[in-house]
Amino acid sequence: METVEQKSVVDKKTVVDKKTAIVQSEKDKKYKYDHEEISGIFRFLECANGTLGFFYGKYKDEDKKYSLQDGAHYKLPRMVVKHLRETGVYPVHKHSIDEDGKAGIKVGHKVRRYTFELDIEDNYLAADSLITIEKA
C-alpha cells in the first residue's frame, strides 16, 4: 500500500512527464511547420541574373548551403523563406537637423536586395475566397 508521500511523488512525476510530452509535441509541430516546403520565385534585385549563396540552419546541426539564381522557381522550407524575406533589406541613413537645430542621423529609407515571391497556392488563398469585380 502506497503512503501519501509516495503517491505525491508519483503524481508530481506524472505531471512533469505530461508537461515534457506537451513541450516536445509543440517542438515537433514547430519543426514540421518550419520544414514545410513553399514554392515561389527568387528575385535578386541587386544583381540581375545573379546568384545568391548562403548557409542557413535554424536547428542544431542543420546548416545547409543554398544557392539561388535570379528568376528561378524553387521549393524551399518555410524557415528559409522567412529568413530571405526578413534579411533582404538594408537601411540607408541620412543626416537631418531637427527643430532645435541639432544634427542627427535617421533612416531615410530601406533598400530591398532580394525577395522570394510566393506562388498563389502557397499564400493559402483558395479560388473560392477570391472575389472578381466586373463592370456592369
Q: What is the mean pLDDT of each run of 10 residues along the chain (136 residues)?
A: 54 66 84 92 91 91 91 93 90 85 83 88 48 59
Can you give the pLDDT at residue 125?
42
DSSP 119: P
Q: What is the pLDDT of residue 53?
A: 93
How many Å apart are CA 38 and CA 7, to the nearest integer? 50
CB of 115 closer than 8 Å to CB of 43? yes
User: Domain residues of the chain, as ranges?
Assistant: 35-123
**Angle of CA points 108, 110, 115, to nearest 5°:** 170
Question: Taking the model in full, what pTM does it have?
Answer: 0.65
Strand ranges, E, within 1-136: 37-44, 51-56, 64-69, 73-77, 89-97, 103-112, 114-118
* Cα 12 to Cα 133: distance, rounded to the nearest angstrom: 61
> 131 CB contacts (<8 Å, ≥6 apart)?
none
User: Residue 118 is which amino acid?
Assistant: L
Contact of 69 with 51, CB cutoff 8 Å? yes
